[in-house]
Structure formats: structure tokens, C-alpha cells
Amino acid sequence: MHQVDRVINERLTSEVPLVKEVAQYIISAGGKRLRPALLLLVAGALGNRHPHRHTLAAVVEFIHTATLLHDDVVDESTLRRGRETANERFGNAASVLVGDFLYSRAFQMMVDVNNMRVMQVLSDATNVIAEGEVLQLMNMHDPSLDEAAYLRVIRSKTAKLFEASARLAAILHQADPATEAACATYGQALGTAFQVIDDVLDYEGSAAELGKNLGDDLREGKVTLPVICALRRASEAERQMIIQAIEQGSTDHLDDILAIVRATGALDAARASAMAEAQRAIDAAQALPDNEYRASLLQLAAALQERRS
């Protein structure tokens, strides 16, 4: 990961000061670096020491960071990772344009790798992520959204880059199709579980733990699995309160809605769904060679149950 950070810092160079300032601001905010770590762990499990693995790990982090910059503008977010979002600090225009810079820099780095399969996987993933963003936008303020439609969004918007990260490690290793498929399945399942837990924490955590404002999803009119589960289980009066909040993007009754979501067992139901995805990841990882890297992949999936931030 130190090598990945070195590549990130080297490739954030720009002759335009604002580009570097905004990019450094969001990259230096930290974050879990989960996608590049996933690529390196899968590479390690396969015995892959390809020199391009650090470059591709940086590429997936750049793509992820670009989506964050654009997401925060679309969602009008003000807080991420415990500090001001880039759009709050530098304005929407700078955030969108620097997001574009990070996307284009990521594609420059892909070209350096000189592997058409790598280009195909990353370009397809980037396209699917964009479709997921549009799907989510279309679903805003729609309380009739069901679990299948919700999963379609998060598998496009979030899990696709996890899947691509794991698949890239297999491609660099020239793994057989079955091994590549197992890696991709692990990544997709892990990414799905991660996002479901993220959505649970918007109703279960605290702003200090999350590094973002509690109830942001409700304010944005975003229907996530905890809300879908709560709507199934709540009384008619409670359902109407939640539906009104979603349709209006209102947090006026946030405390009441948090209480309903918790009292109906919706958070437990959503966590159970996440754990089923985590188990799917664990099952897929069993196909990889038995070594310390695979053990870390198994531990990573199991640890999602304890995630609180």
C-alpha cells in the first residue's frame, strides 16, 4: 500500500494548481483504500508479483475518488470522512472538473499497462458505475423501490469496482477462467455487502463514527435496504411518515424514523442480507490458493459484520 500511495502521489501531478489542490485534498482525506487493497490481496493470494499491480491499484483508487467527487456534487453533501466535502470547500464546478481529471488520468495509466483485457474490464466498470449513478438518480424519492431494484443500483454503483479490482489481479496473473470468475465473484459479493452495511450505518451509527451526517440518505430521498425493510414491517401510520420523508427529502422527523427503522428490526434484516453476501464472498475465496493472503480475504469478508464506520 505504501507503493500504491507513492504511485498516487506521482500521478497526481498537474501544471494547473487547483487540479492538484482539489485532488490532493480528497485523496489525503484517507479513506479505507479498500479497492486497491483488494487488488493487492487477490494478487498475493494468486502469487502474482506483476510490476503493474501497484499502478492498477492506484487506477481503481483514482476512479473511486472521481466518483466520490461527482457523488458529493449530485447529493449536495457537505461532510465526508469527517471533514468538508471538496464541493463544500472548492465549489461544485471545481469538484466536477477535477473528478474528470482523475478519470482521464486513470485512463492514461491504463494505457501504460498495455493490456487490452485490463482496458476492457476498467472501461466496462467505469461505464456500469455511471449507469448505476443514473439509476440511483432515477430512483430518488420513490418509496415503491423494492430490494431487487436497490441491489441492481449498488451492484452497478459500488460493487462493480470491487469486482473489477479483484478480476484485474487475476488477469495480470493470467489465471484460468474459473479462478478469474471466483476472484470477480468475491469482489462483487464483498462490494455488495460493504454497501449494504454502509446504508445500515446511515440509520444506526453516529456522525462522529461515520464521518458524514446521519440521515443523509433520507435527506437525499434515497431508498436503501433498511428503509425497504422498515416499510414492509411498519404500521400504516409509520409507513406514511417514512413515505412522506422520502418523497419530500425531509429529515424533519428523522428521530422518529430512526426509531421506527430500529424498532421494526429493519437493521437486523439488512445486516442479515449483507452477511449472506459476505458468505458468498467467503465461499468464492475458498477457490484460491491456501495462504496468508487468502486468509486475509476471508477475514476481510467476515469483519464486515463488525463494521461501524
Identify the sign of the CA torsion 110, 113, 115, 118: negative
* Contact of 186 with 153, CB cutoff 8 Å: no
List, for residues 147-183, the tens digit of each pLDDT value.
Answer: 999 999 999 999 999 999 999 999 999 999 999 999 9
**CATH code matching the domain that covers 115-309, chosen among 1.10.630.10, 1.10.600.10, 3.10.105.10, 1.10.10.10:** 1.10.600.10
What is the percent of the chain where pLDDT is above 70? Answer: 96
pLDDT in the model for residue 150: 97
pLDDT in the model for residue 216: 83
Lookup: cell for 13 = 501531478
On the question of pLDDT at 75 being above 60, the answer is: yes
pLDDT in the model for residue 207: 53
Mean pLDDT across 87-92 = 92
Instruction: Check if 1-30+53-114 and 115-309 are the same fold.
Output: yes
Lookup: cell for 104 = 482521464
Angle between helices 292-303 and 34-45 in degrees, nearest 10: 140
* Strand (E) or helix (H) holding 226: helix 225-233
Q: Per-domain residue ranges for the chain? A: 1-30+53-114, 115-309
List, for residues 194-230, the tens digit of each pLDDT value.
Answer: 999 999 998 886 655 555 577 888 989 999 999 999 9
Residues near 15 by beta carbon (within 8 Å), at least 6 away in sequence:
none
CB atoms within 10 A of CB 190: 28
Confidence class of residue 304 from pLDDT cuts 50, 70 and 90? confident
Mean pLDDT across 30-50 = 92
List, for residues 245-280, the tens digit of each pLDDT value.
Answer: 999 999 899 999 999 999 999 999 999 999 999 999
Least confident range from 28-42, 74-88, 283-297: namely 74-88
On the question of pLDDT at 30 being above 80, the answer is: no
The CATH superfamily of 1-30+53-114 is: Farnesyl Diphosphate Synthase (1.10.600.10)
